[in-house]
């Protein structure tokens, strides 16, 4: 069940300028989701990013992953297009394993495991994210034809299976450096990400 919880204006800094977005909070079952919209995005296809929460990357600026770069890149692309929606999946931390388990996986990665083996070594799924809530939020917003900003073909397939028409995948790339090379290599080789 999807419930709209609240709506408000959200001024967002994008490339040094402040832009006025509209944010709507949703609850799907027990998951919290934000729809952060800019411009006249209802004209199909809408430019959309479904972004999984990453506290360490998004908020703390961790260089271990490409999450913050993808988040900022999505906002930049939406502003450049003049319209779009960022769906922020608050309960998708660590591909669905949660923050504390993600830190445990980081510890294993410090010892040489990749992101996939770290999860499985802990007895956790490689990826337990469910995109049903994102599809329901898009439906609530009247959006069913999108261009999806992602490097993950599984996300395209999941949303398509949930009734969202993805007419084009838009790559969203980040800088590769010594701190994220192993992570990005594992995403490409073991998780099918198109990097």
What SS3 class is residue 153? helix
DSSP H helices, the chain, are 67-81, 93-96, 99-110, 115-121, 132-140, 153-161, 181-191
Assess contact for 44 and 84: CB atoms under 8 A: no
Task: Name the β-bridge partners of 159.
Answer: none
DSSP code at position 38: E
Q: Is 22 a catalytic residue?
A: no
Assess contact for 82 and 23: CB atoms under 8 A: no
Around Cβ 75, how many Cβ atoms within 10 Å? 22
Residue among 66, 127, 154, 192 flagged as catalytic: 127
Q: Is 129 a catalytic residue?
A: yes
Token pair recorded at residue 53: 């929460």
Residue among 64, 129, 139, 140 flagged as catalytic: 129
Element (H, E) at 49: strand 46-52
Ramachandran bin of 158, using left for φ above 0, alpha for ψ from -120 to 50, beta for the remaining angles: alpha
Alpha carbon distance 58, 19 (integer Å): 19
The catalytic residues are 127, 129
């Amino acid at each position: 069940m999807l419930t709209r919880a609240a709506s408000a204006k959200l001024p967002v800094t994008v490339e040094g300028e402040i832009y006025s977005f509209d944010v709507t909070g949703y609850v799907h079952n027990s998951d919290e989701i934000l729809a952060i919209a800019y411009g006249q995005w209802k004209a199909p296809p809408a430019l959309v990013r479904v972004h999984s929460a990453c506290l360490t990357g998004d908020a703390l600026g961790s260089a271990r992953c490409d999450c913050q770069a993808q988040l900022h890149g999505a906002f930049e692309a939406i502003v450049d297009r003049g319209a779009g929606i960022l769906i922020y999946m608050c309960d998708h931390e660590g591909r669905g394993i949660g923050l504390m388990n993600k830190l445990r996986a980081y510890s294993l990665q410090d010892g040489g495991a990749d992101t996939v083996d770290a999860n499985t070594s802990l007895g956790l799924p490689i990826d337990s994210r469910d995109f049903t809530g994102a599809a329901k939020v898009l439906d609530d917003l009247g959006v069913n034809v999108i261009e999806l900003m992602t490097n993950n073909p599984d996300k395209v397939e999941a949303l398509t299976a949930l009734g969202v028409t993805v007419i084009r995948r838009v790559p969203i790339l980040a800088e590769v450096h010594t701190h994220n090379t192993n992570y990005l290599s594992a995403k490409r080789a073991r998780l099918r990400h198109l990097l």
